Chains A and B, each alone.
Chain A
């Protein structure tokens, strides 16, 4: 028996059996286990095989699928790293805008003025659209020859722009559409965060003669730090998982320049039925995103008391 030693002086706080917390967790664990843990472990297993679930033989290849991803002579090398670099490009181009612009909007819409709720709704509205709607809509709006945008440009005497068929315009379009589409979500998070910053701090800063810029720098930003960490992490993950916009608007073109890692993984796994290689790609991408997320959180975590103490001194 490994029962804990009796403590005669204090009644244990626990009421109910040892398994009570697990019973409460069970429904979640069942779903989490079935749809997250099991597929994840299974995916890891698949990535160690030359896996096509229909072929009778699924030879064990050890780390071969991973080694292929680092072997310039393999079929998947170029496709995968082209995809990763496209995903990286999109993350670098979209995240700064998606983190900063919604913050400015949130601050503007946090003031009191007539029509505020309506404007908030307008900004948030595109977010409720599905990616298929957004993708097909903008494929026609941005069509270089037939689209309304180029029509308007020409009507005002400007040169038409190959929005979807030449670089860097294809990236500009994809980032622009994604910003228009998902801006509202980050803005809502920021709005909630702004309402949590105590008004007294602003009052105190004003009394001390802080300018608007100083109030933003020393009151708003520190107050939003946890929210900022959340928004940054979620936005990086969302941008790294970009798929539908490029699939529908550019089909990965021009060439393969906007074919993101997710498109490559889908094509490899479900198009060419190389599920082992696709699983390995997926894991490599996940590991990369895991590292980036940890860096984000470390960089934006609440500063420890040591530093505050020093600043106060």
Chain B
């Protein structure tokens, strides 16, 4: 599938795009291509009050996102509350898989059938901005009074492209360290004090192995092996790309060390071999594994399983520094033919209103983007979320470069080859880096970055 940075919000049993979805997407693409030739003036206005209040006429707004997991109903609830509070604005929310979302959005916008407001991941924001899908939101940021001080620097900076702000950060969603407390207790380990450093972690895995439990299943798939590998590369002191984002840096020693640790876990029996998609999380639910590094969005998934005893912490430190992969959802305003000024103003009002409901949104299994919201008592009451949020200072993100997802996809291929033991880690990473370098060079030409 698409190598666009995908889907942190999916449920474990993600059905991929069906043939019908693909056909629908292609159909929409065809229509869009037909219409592309006659696309004329799109609204480019970024004037207005920044959405503090709305005084225009009655309007309908379309709002698209990929919240297919436990976060979907929470967002729908926020939308309903917004609609109730604003008589003249009706927001209609449409949820689809992120992969479909990224494929459909451009075509839908070009044909005038797309959303007025949408959610984008941090790492796809610059791609969308470069491709002219979005409108600047500087005025909304001004009106909201949000400043860099209230956000993680990377998240704040990622919303800026070509000198204008295109995204209002809604949340960050880091990787967390989930564990099955019943399995830990059964192996004589203390579920209240899970291993948080390399030596303890490996000792715990040995203990579990002694009980016949492969403690930490290494997923060879993007979800969530890809995020695990990225976190480990950062923990060992490496990085995904060089400082300019011009070449892949994951094939250096730190990257090899990180991937080797995952592969060694398979060799040593700490992990099962041939782990299937989502099998790592299912094994945790079944009590076949003790540990799983998974996205914070899994909180709601695990909560819904009756009788499952689990807990979550920040990621343990396997390398030399603390680090954890994270993504971020951002509100964007789309550029679309036929959007009225009233709709633009209403969309700003909607973004403004929802972005102030950070704590309510955290219920959906997310960490609020704002530091002030993370410090609130309401957020502290959400135990799993705030446990994961403890690592807020150590979160790392895929760099914001147009088309970066195409390059990161190559890392996932290396992960798959190495963890399935078809290539040794160093070779797999070097091959992937060589491919990614070509992709990066190619993207620089396309996006003129």
Contacts and interface: CB of A to CB of B under 8 A. Distances in A.
Interface stretch (A7-15, A105-113, A136-144, A213-221): A136-144
Interface in B391-423: 403, 405-406, 413, 416-417, 420, 422-423
B221 A271 contact: no
Contacts of A144: 272-276, 279
B110 A54 contact: yes
B243 interface: no
Contacts of B163: none
A135 interface: yes
Interface stretch (B9-17, B166-174, B186-194): B9-17
Contacts of A272: 3, 403, 406
A102 B1 CA distance: 31
Given A143-B279, A273-B131, A255 B106 contact: no
A139 B29 contact: no
A256 B423 CA distance: 12
Interface in A18-66: 35, 39, 42, 46, 50, 52-56
B15 A136 contact: yes
B132 A271 contact: no
Contact of B132 (A54, A130, A244): A54
Contacts, number: 138
A39 B2 contact: no
Interface stretch (A159-167, A177-185, A300-308): A159-167
Contacts of B337: none
A290 B1 CA distance: 26
Given A139-B277, A165-B275, A255-B423, A55 B416 contact: no
Contacts of B288: 145-146
Contacts of B1: 247, 251-252, 263, 266-267, 271
B371 interface: no
Contacts of A252: 1
B439 A165 contact: no
A254 B413 CA distance: 8
A204 B209 CA distance: 72
B185 interface: no
Contact of A55 (B274, B413, B435, B446): B446
Contacts of B2: 266-267, 270-271
A145 B220 contact: no
A70 to B, nearest CB: 16
Interface in A214-266: 243-244, 247-248, 251-256, 263, 266
B22 interface: yes
B406 A271 contact: yes
Contacts of A35: 30
Contacts of B131: 52, 54-55, 273
Contacts of A145: 217, 272, 274-276, 279, 283, 288
Nearest to B4: A271
Given A39-B30, A136-B15, A130 B20 contact: yes
A108 B58 CA distance: 68
A44 to B, nearest CB: 13
18 contacts: A39-B30, A53-B36, A53-B106, A53-B110, A75-B442, A130-B18, A130-B19, A139-B276, A144-B279, A145-B274, A145-B283, A162-B274, A164-B274, A244-B18, A251-B222, A256-B413, A270-B103, A271-B406
Give 3 closest A-B pairs by Cβ, nearest first: A271-B2, A165-B274, A162-B274
Interface of B: 1-4, 13, 15-20, 22, 25, 29-30, 32-34, 36, 102-103, 106-107, 110, 131-133, 217, 220-222, 272-277, 279, 282-283, 286, 288, 403, 405-406, 413, 416-417, 420, 422-423, 435, 438-439, 442, 446
Given A166-B422, A251-B222, A254-B422, 16 more contacts: A53-B33, A56-B132, A74-B438, A75-B442, A130-B19, A132-B18, A145-B274, A165-B274, A244-B18, A244-B19, A247-B16, A247-B17, A251-B1, A253-B416, A254-B417, A273-B106
